[in-house]
A and B are shown apart, each in its own frame.
Chain A
Amino acid sequence: MKKIIRLVITGGIIGSFIGFNIAIFCSLFFKTAYFVPSSLYFVLGHSPFAVLISELLWILIGVVFAAANRVFSIEKWSITRQTITHFLITYILFTPIAVACGWFPLNFHYLFWFTVEFIAIYIIIWFGCMIKTKYKINKLNETLKQNK
């Protein structure tokens, strides 16, 4: 229980921090007249509620990623299984939130390229993990041989 609370708090803080900063950056970059927390202002106008709901969504994203990260602590799982499970959790839970944030419209074309990008990122993560671990294990073997 304690772990879950800590996960929600840290995930939430990191999520809202990153979300807020991206929103500020985008607002400045696209030279908007007002601060645009997310595309929700189309529905809610420039009310504080647009900011509040955006923040809740950022918190939710943070919690999803913090929770998904736990799969890398499951010591009996291979890197492949950890990466695929992480992918499934974030893809299934993050995609609807991203749509709710208005980051991309819900149509086949966008969803398709979003999925392709998502998979590409996970393939890179998988390769990175494998190379890093392989390097560390090679180092172990070298030290083991020197000891003999």
Chain B
Amino acid sequence: MKVKIHLNREMNGDPYAQIVTNKITPAIDMLADSIRKISFTPTLIAYKFGRKLAIPVSEIIRIYTENKIVVCITADSKYKLRSRIYQLENILPKNIFIRISSSEIVNLNQVKQFDLTAAGMFKVMFKNGNSTFASKRYIKKIQEALSR
């Protein structure tokens, strides 16, 4: 099949693929399905200043509860989420996102290392220099998630 790429610098939104055909055959359906599958990036619906946005989950560093509001942090911004922590724990890919305390989920790909402070706090350090505190009761679960 001939593949054409249209370059349109004025175009808004995400890139999309279009198949031009004179007849819809099972082969065309399969092709459309395959394109959808390989280009699918899981996103989370988040809010900022009342605006609704879709954030690719790979960009999320941590999700936690702050004054009873669930927020997520990316490299450059902070968003509100409308789901609860336990719901997000089930939605997000389990091999990447792990629960580290009753109020926080982190992206393992963004974690640089774990640490025990002199006072005995379980600290999680991220690649961007940020850090957070985890619950010692979750050490076992984190180990299991990492070993998978």
Contacts and interface: CB of A to CB of B under 8 A. Distances in A.
Q: Do A and B come from one complex?
A: yes
A75 to B, nearest CB: 4
B113 A141 contact: yes
Nearest to B113: A141
B137 interface: yes
B101 interface: yes
Given A136-B139, A140-B139, A78 B114 contact: no
B121 A139 contact: no
* Chain B at the A interface: SS class: mixed
B74 to A, nearest CB: 21
B143 A139 contact: yes
A124 to B, nearest CB: 15
B18 interface: no
Interface residues of A, number: 21
Nearest to A73: B137
A70 B91 CA distance: 32
Contacts of A22: none
A6 interface: no
Given A75-B135, A78-B120, A78-B121, A140 B142 contact: yes
Interface stretch (A25-33, A111-119, A127-135): A127-135
A141 B146 CA distance: 10
B135 A130 contact: no
A81 interface: yes
B130 interface: no
Nearest to B95: A147
Given A75-B135, A144-B146, A137 B120 contact: no
A143 interface: yes
Nearest to B121: A78
Contact of B119 (A75, A80, A143, A144): A80
Contacts of B111: 144
Given A133-B122, A133-B136, A140 B116 contact: no
A30 to B, nearest CB: 41
Contact of A76 (B114, B115, B133): B133
Name the 4 nearest CB pairs between A and B, nearest first: A79-B120, A75-B135, A78-B119, A143-B146
Interface of B: 101-102, 108, 111, 113-117, 119-122, 133, 135-137, 139-140, 142-143, 146-147
Interface of A: 73, 75-76, 78-82, 126, 129-130, 133-134, 136-137, 139-141, 143-144, 147
19 contacts: A75-B102, A75-B136, A75-B137, A80-B119, A81-B119, A81-B120, A126-B120, A133-B122, A133-B139, A134-B116, A136-B143, A137-B114, A137-B115, A137-B116, A140-B139, A140-B143, A140-B146, A143-B143, A144-B111
